[in-house]
Structure 1
Amino acid sequence: MNVLNLPVVWTLVFASLFCLMECQLGGNTYVDKQLLCALDKGPCDRLGRQVKDSLPEIIGNQCQNCTPQQLANARRIAAYVQSKYPYVWNELVDKYGRKQR
């Protein structure tokens, strides 16, 4: 993925996830599907692939290249996943977090 396009992708991913949280939380099936995709435990749709591609920067690099708005959105989404899916959050951190050397 071209590094110059990453801010655009992150903006789209964050906007999609924000809408996902706000618009579709009545049925968590879609959220579950995206999380399973990110963990390589289920099929991925377009959003799932974008999320999966962004997680190394978001989690592993602590969103250092994010804009302030993207960082705020990432924190909000992370807080949601941590509170609703703590076991999944731990798996995401293990998978996409920086490895200790």
Structure 2
Amino acid sequence: MKAAIIFLIVVAVQYAAAQKQYTNKFDNVDVDGVLSNNRILTNYIKCLMDKGPCTPEGRELKKLLPDALQTDCSKCTDTQRKNSQKVINFLRVNRPGEWKLLLDKYDSRGVYRSKYEKQG
């Protein structure tokens, strides 16, 4: 009986932990393809900056980005963590003006900025 209760608690904890992750339905987006396509990347940036329409992936990113910054991506899947670092590094190096605009919008107080500047 005690083992069954422990098993149920373990299952409940694992289920609760799984529910605290962001959806992985967009984890298969070809991030390298987006980064290498100026038109598509610009459209994503416009979406995030409220300057253009958003794809479903863009809407999801825009919705989750503030929470991901605040929680240090604690709810991100491994793929999301890897891809977010890839995008950050790319924008910092190749599109610094737009990177600054994104930082000003999503990190206006500079709380997370220093962390990303050190990771380059």
TM over 0.5: yes
Identity %: 26
Highest RCO, 1 vs 2 (Cα 8 Å, sep ≥ 6): 1
1:12 to 15, 20, 25: 25
2:89 to 72, 79, 84: 79
**Gapped regions of structure 1 (runs ≥ 5):** none
**Gapped regions of structure 2 (runs ≥ 5):** 1-18, 112-120
| Number of aligned positions between the proteins | 93
Structure 1 pair 42/74, CA: closer, same or farther in 2 (3 Å)?
A: same
> What's the TM-score once normalised by structure 1's chain length?
0.69
Q: Is the 8 A contact 2:44 2:54 kept in 1?
A: yes
Q: Which amino acid is 2:22 matched to? A: P
User: Where does residue 80 of structure 2 map in the other structure?
Assistant: 70
User: Where does residue 103 of structure 2 map in the other structure?
Assistant: 93
Question: RMSD across aligned C-alpha pairs, in angstroms?
Answer: 2.7
Instruction: Look up the SS of the partner of 2:25 in the other structure.
Output: helix
Which has the larger Rg?
2
> What's the TM-score once normalised by structure 2's chain length?
0.60
